[in-house]
Structure 1
C-alpha cells in the first residue's frame, strides 16, 4: 500500500457489534475512510451511514464490493454467513476483518485460509482481548522468567442470556450459530488464555442444556492440558446472573488474576507474589503507565500495520485457528466422553465439519447435548 494512501473500508452487517468496528475506524481516522455499509435491513444500513458520514448504504455485499472496491471489509454478520461472505471479500481483492466466532467449523476455517493469497488479501478475526497492554505485560514477565512456570489456570466466562436473546432465529442452532457459549461467548477468554499460556495439548469436557430450549448447550466445562504441562479449567455459561469474565493463572512465583466483563484495563489485573518472593522483586510487576484497554480499536492497529506491510496479520491463519480447534475438541470430548488431543480433528472426522459431529455418517437426534 503506497505511503499516505488512505484505507477504504466497508462494513457488512450493521447490528450492534458494527459500532465497535466503527469506533476502531474512528480512532484511526487519519488512515481510514468508511465508504460503505451493507445490511439486509435498509433502515439499519441508513442509520449506520448517518453516523459514518459519506458512507453509502447497500442491501447486499456483492453490489457493495463491485461498486466501492474497498481495501478491507468488516464482517459483522451471524456466524453462519461468515465463510461465504469472507470468501467473497477475499475474491474481490479486499482483506476481511471478521467477528467471532470465525465460522462454524474447522472445515469452514480452512476454506477461508485456502481463499487467501500470499501477501494478501488475508482474513483476520476479532479476538480483541489479546491486545490490551496488560496482556502484553504478562507475556513479557512470563518470558523473562519473572513469574516462574505456569502451573494451574482457570478461565471463566459466566454470563446471563434470557429467552428473548435466543428468540433471534439463528441463535442456539448448530447450523446457524455453530455452537453455544463455548463457541459464541467463551471463545474470547479461551483465546486470551491460549495467548497467555501457549499451545494446548489435550482437552476433556462436558456440556449440558439446563435452561434454554435450544439445540446447543447453555453451559460447558473443560479440563485443558497445555504443552507446558500446565492444567486449566474452563467454564462457559449463559446461566449466570452475576456476570463475570475471569482468568487466573497460578505460576511458581505469583498468582495472576484478571477480572472484567467485556473488556479490561491494567487495573483489572492483580499480581499476588508467592511467600518466597522478596518484595522489591515485584516492583516490575505493576502494569506499565501506557495502559491500553482491550478493544476493537487496539485490535485493529496491528491489522492496519499488516495491511500496509503486505504481511499476514495476527489472529489469522494458524494463529487464528488454534482456539477454534480447542472449541471443536471441547465439543468432541463432550459428545464422545473421551479426551481429545490437539491435531486429532482432521478431514474425515465428523467434528471437522460440525461442532456437533453431524454428518460424515454421524447423526444425533436434534444434536442433543
Structure 2
C-alpha cells in the first residue's frame, strides 16, 4: 500500500503495533506509548512475537485491549497500523521494516538498525518519496533538553570552535550475557560493542559535531569467546576540523557513558550511563569568559530527560506533518557508516574516509568484510 493511500493522521490517534515483546519493548517502548496515549496521541493496537505466551503476558501488562499475533504479515493486513515499533534481534530488522513500510506503516526500529550498510540502503529504497512512510532508528540520547541546548550552543559557535572530543562507552558484560544465541555474532548482531553498545554515544557525538571525515581504529577480542570484538578504539576527524577519540568496551567494571567536547572558550561534558538529564551535563568556561555569558550557557531550560518518550513525541509530530523524522535516512545512516568505517580501519590497518564504503566494498555487505580471523566460518574464513 503506497503512503498516499494510508488514512490521514490528523484528528485521530496514531495506531501503534509492537514487534517483539521482550524487555526493551516492555521497559522502554510500552511506557512511552502509554504516556502519549494519555495525551490523546497514540493507541497501542497490536503486539507480535513468535512466542505466544510472551505476547499474552505483554497484552496483560499493557492492559489487555490490544490484539496479539504470532504472524507479522497477518497483523499488518488486519490491523493496518500507522506506526510499527520493532524490538527484535538485529538480523530480523530489515525484513520486518520492509514489510511494515510496504504495508503503509512508519517504522521506529531499535538499534542497531540492521547488520550492514547494504541492509540499511535496501530499507531506505522502500521508504515513501514524499510524506512517508519513513523508517527511523531508536537513538533516544539525541533527544531531551540537555542535548537540544548543547547542540544549539555548538551550532551557533557560542563557545567557539569545537576542537577536541572524547566519546566513551565503557560497559561490562559477563559470559552469561553472551549466552543469548544471537549476541556476539556478525550475522545476527552485526558487530560487538561498537555496534550494539557504543552506537548510542557515537550517534550523539555526530549529532553534536556534524559529519565525520576520516577514522583510524583498532579492535580486539580480549576476554570473551565471541566472533566479534569486545573492545575497540578509534581516532576520528570531523569535517569541521575537530578531532575525537572513541572507546567502546564491554570489559569495564566501572561503567560509564561519556562525551566531552573542548571548544575554544569552554569544555562541555556529559556523564551518565543509560540516559541523561540536564544535571548530567557540565559546562566549564575558559578563564576569560564573562560571568554573565557563562551563566547563560548554563540555562538548559525545563528538564526533559533523554528517553524513548522524548523521541517518540517528536516522531509522532513528524508523522502528522508528513516530514522525514530525525535519525532516519541519511541522518540515521551516518552512525552506521562510521561503525563500518571503524571496523574496516581496524581490520585493514588503514585510514578510512567518509563515503568510501559502498556497493562493491566487502565492508558494505558485512561489517567484518570477510577479514581472516574475524569473519565467521560460514563466510569462508
TM-score normalized with structure 1 length: 0.97
In structure 2, what is the equivalent of residue 110 of structure 1? 121
Give the paired residue count: 365
Deviations 1:107-141 (A, max 9, x none): 00000000111221110111001112111101222
Maintained 8 Å contact 1:172/1:215: yes
Q: Which one is further off, 144-153 or 176-185? A: 144-153
Deviations 1:276-296 (A, max 9, x none): 212222111114231110000
The equivalent position to 1:32 in structure 2, one of 42, 58, 68, is: 42
In structure 2, what is the equivalent of residue 15 of structure 1? 22
In structure 2, what is the equivalent of residue 134 of structure 1? 146
- Structure 2 Cα separation of the partners of residues 139 and 228 of structure 1: 15
Unaligned runs of 5+ in 1: none
In structure 1, what is the equivalent of residue 5 of structure 2? none
- Structure 2 Cα separation of the partners of residues 98 and 274 of structure 1: 41
- Structure 2 Cα separation of the partners of residues 345 and 144 of structure 1: 31
- Structure 2 Cα separation of the partners of residues 166 and 277 of structure 1: 49
The equivalent position to 1:354 in structure 2, one of 330, 349, 366, is: 366
- Structure 1 Cα separation of the partners of residues 279 and 211 of structure 2: 27
Equivalent residues in 2 for 1:52-91 (5 A)?
Answer: 52-53=62-63, 54-91=65-102
Maintained 8 Å contact 2:9/2:319: no
In structure 2, what is the equivalent of residue 211 of structure 1? 223
- Structure 2 Cα separation of the partners of residues 177 and 288 of structure 1: 36
In structure 1, what is the equivalent of residue 4 of structure 2? none
The equivalent position to 1:304 in structure 2, one of 316, 323, 326, is: 316
In structure 1, what is the equivalent of residue 170 of structure 2? 158
- Structure 2 Cα separation of the partners of residues 238 and 138 of structure 1: 28
**3-state SS, counterpart of residue 128 of structure 2:** coil
C-alpha distance 3-179 of structure 1, shift in aligned 2 (>3 A): same
- Structure 2 Cα separation of the partners of residues 100 and 227 of structure 1: 25
Deviations 1:229-285 (A, max 9, x none): 100000000000010000011000001110000000000000111122122221111
Q: Output the aligned Cα RMSD.
A: 1.2
C-alpha distance 10-277 of structure 1, shift in aligned 2 (>3 A): same
- Structure 2 Cα separation of the partners of residues 321 and 345 of structure 1: 12
TM-score normalized with structure 2 length: 0.94
User: Which runs of structure 1 show a deviation greater than 6 angstroms over 4 or more consecutive aligned residues?
Assistant: none
Maintained 8 Å contact 1:134/1:287: no
Equivalent residues in 2 for 1:1-369 (5 A)?
Answer: 1-19=8-26, 20-29=28-37, 30-53=40-63, 54-118=65-129, 119-358=131-370, 364-365=372-373, 367=375
- Structure 2 Cα separation of the partners of residues 141 and 365 of structure 1: 44
CA offset at residue 2 of structure 1?
Answer: 4.5
Maintained 8 Å contact 2:154/2:209: no
**3-state SS, counterpart of residue 311 of structure 1:** coil
